């Protein structure tokens, strides 16, 4: 689904890995994601869903999909076992503290999810607290884990790239902004709007 941050991070991973992929738009406005046909493939009734045609596997949960892709493609998994564990920590932290708040604030501001003002306030406070953690970690380092880009960076970029739509002022986080620029300079990098159209698309 074109507006979906979790879908974007999977698409970004595939793009950065140089893997062509078909993109199938799920019409969430019409509740397609809650129909039995879709639920039989994606038990949580959410996007994204990755279908690996090489082996017929169906995978849910964007962070788990990134781990799967890094394992199967042998890319962005971290240079050592410790880096791999650290990347996983960042991804678990992300959905707990950063993505939950940023995506909720964005959904409220875009009118996708109506909510009381206190909910927006709560989400902004939580999102800013998480951005501060990110900012402090990125001071003096180029990537979240080790010396190169990993699935932790791809995962978290897929949140931070949408933060301004949620009303967050990234100008307050210069190290995060510099890290975003490094992400955007990677070969094959593409924005959400370039990767996710509002209709289905077969691999180029």
- Cis bond upstream, residue 41 (ω within 30): no
Is there binding between residue 95 and ligand GSH (CB under 6 A)? yes
Q: Binding residues for ligand GSH, how many (CB under 6 A)?
A: 13
Q: Does residue 122 bind ligand GSH (CB under 6 A)? A: no
Candidates 11, 14, 46, 98; binder of ligand GSH (CB under 6 A) is 46
Q: Does 62 bind ligand GSH (CB under 6 A)?
A: yes
Of 16, 21, 23, 61, which lies in the binding site for ligand GSH, with binding defined by CB under 6 A? Answer: 61
Least spacing, CB of residue 171 vs ligand GSH, in Å: 26
Q: How far is the CB of 2 from ligand GSH (least distance, A)?
A: 10
Got the DSSP string for the chain?
Answer: -TT-HHHHHHHHHHHHTT----B----TTTTGGGSHHHHTT-TTS-S-EEEETTTTEEEESHHHHHHHHHHHHT-SS-SSHHHHHHHHHHHHHIIIIIHHHHHHHHHHHTTSS---HHHHHHHHHHHHHHHHHHHHHHTT-SSSSTTS--HHHHHHHHHHTTTGGGT--GGG-HHHHHHHHHHHTSTT---HHHH--SS-B---
Binders of ligand GSH among residues 17 to 36 (CB under 6 A) are 33
How many other CB atoms are there within 10 angstroms of residue 126's CB atom? 18
Residue 101 touches ligand GSH, criterion: CB under 6 A: no
Residue closest to ligand GSH when measured from CB atoms: 46
Q: Which stretch binds ligand GSH (CB under 6 A): 1-9, 133-141, 175-183, 195-203?
A: 1-9
Q: Which of the ranges 61-69, 76-84, 126-134, 177-185 carries the binding residues for ligand GSH, by CB under 6 A?
A: 61-69
In whole angstroms, how close is the CB of 158 to ligand GSH at the nearest point?
9
Smaller CB distance to ligand GSH: residue 46 or 101? 46
State the residues that interact with ligand GSH by CB under 6 A. 1, 4-6, 33, 45-48, 61-63, 95
């Amino acid at each position: 689904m074109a507006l979906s941050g979790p879908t974007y991070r999977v698409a970004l991973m595939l793009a950065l890995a140089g893997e062509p992929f078909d993109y199938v738009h799920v019409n969430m406005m019409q509740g397609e994601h809650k129909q039995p046909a879709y639920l039989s493939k994606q038990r949580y009734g959410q996007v994204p869903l990755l279908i690996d045609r090489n082996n017929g596997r169906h995978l849910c949960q964007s962070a788990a999909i990134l781990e799967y892709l890094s394992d199967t493609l042998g890319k962005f998994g971290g240079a050592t076992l410790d880096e791999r564990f650290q990347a996983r920590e960042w991804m678990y932290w992300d959905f707990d503290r950063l993505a939950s708040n940023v995506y909720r604030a964005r959904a409220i501001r875009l009118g996708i999810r109506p909510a009381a003002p206190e909910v927006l306030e709560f989400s902004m406070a939580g999102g800013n607290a998480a951005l501060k953690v990110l900012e402090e970690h990125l001071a003096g380092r180029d990537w979240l884990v080790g010396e190169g880009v990993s699935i932790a960076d791809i995962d978290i970029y897929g949140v931070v790239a949408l933060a301004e739509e949620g009303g967050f002022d990234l100008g307050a986080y210069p190290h995060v902004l510099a890290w975003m620029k490094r992400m955007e300079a990677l070969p094959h990098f593409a924005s959400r709007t370039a990767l996710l159209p509002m209709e289905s698309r077969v691999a180029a």
